[in-house]
Structure 1
């Protein structure tokens, strides 16, 4: 399977999870589907891509002249070396997709628990989908008053 195919597949999995969060029933089955068929599959794809790339099982398709990445080098130069390959982009993107969907599910559960309507949740969920930490920050600010009131 090409890196383009893995990239497309991870996007489809994530979009399915986000659509369930936005329009699904939010019952236990739906939330389990988001967690295991969404977040879980993305984590599995991440793990497989990571192992295949760093285990030498798959060609990372590096840009011409790009240095080979070193797993222990978390400097800007080290991360640049990782992201100068198709594998690095797919691994990084899948990481974002998995964590953003997990955070989106937490926000949805927390919002339901605190009595926020679905229309009030949708802009925060959209922000989390598009810019994860921005959506999370907005949610943390918005939820504060109700969280204190509940405590």
Structure 2
């Protein structure tokens, strides 16, 4: 399989998982499917491709450079290949989907409607840390309000 095909497949797979997260009922079975068939499959794809490139078993389709994650030039050299870009992108897809799942479950527990959750899920899908930061700010206010209400009730 070439890197362009893998890129297309991982994007499609992640988008299907995001659609399920945003629009399907969030019962335990749905969440388990998103976790294992979405996040875990993306993680497995990432691991397989990374090991393949690092071991020399897969051609990164670009200038072969030593994989050095400790310097900016080393990371740039890896991302300067098709394989490195797909591996990096798959990393983002897996982690953003995992974070999106956490946001959705946390929002459900805190009583946020799906409509209120959607902007944070969309921002997390598109811009990762921006969606997470937005959710952390909003959830903190709701959590504090819930704690105060529980304290008054007790």
Q: If the TM-score is normalised by the length of the shorter chain, which range does it land in?
A: over 0.9
RMSD over aligned Cα, in angstroms? Answer: 1.0
- The corresponding residue for 1:38 is 38
Q: Does structure 1 conserve the Cα–Cα contact (< 8 Å) formed by 2:53 and 2:60?
A: yes
Q: Does structure 2 conserve the Cα–Cα contact (< 8 Å) formed by 1:107 and 1:125?
A: yes
Q: How many residues align?
A: 147
Q: Distance in 1 between matches of 2:32 and 2:126?
A: 23
The TM-score, its normalising length taken from structure 1, stands at 0.94
Moved over 6 A (4+): none
Deviation of residue 82 (structure 1)? 0.6
Q: Distance in 2 between matches of 1:113 and 1:136?
A: 17
Q: Does structure 1 conserve the Cα–Cα contact (< 8 Å) formed by 2:7 and 2:86?
A: yes
Larger Rg over CA atoms: 2
1:106 to 83, 102, 106: 102
Instruction: List alignment gaps of at least 5 residues for structure 1.
Output: none
Instruction: List alignment gaps of at least 5 residues for structure 2.
Output: 148-154
The TM-score, its normalising length taken from structure 2, stands at 0.92
1:4 aligned counterpart, secondary structure:
helix
Deviation of residue 25 (structure 1)? 0.4
Q: Distance in 2 between matches of 1:68 and 1:106?
A: 36
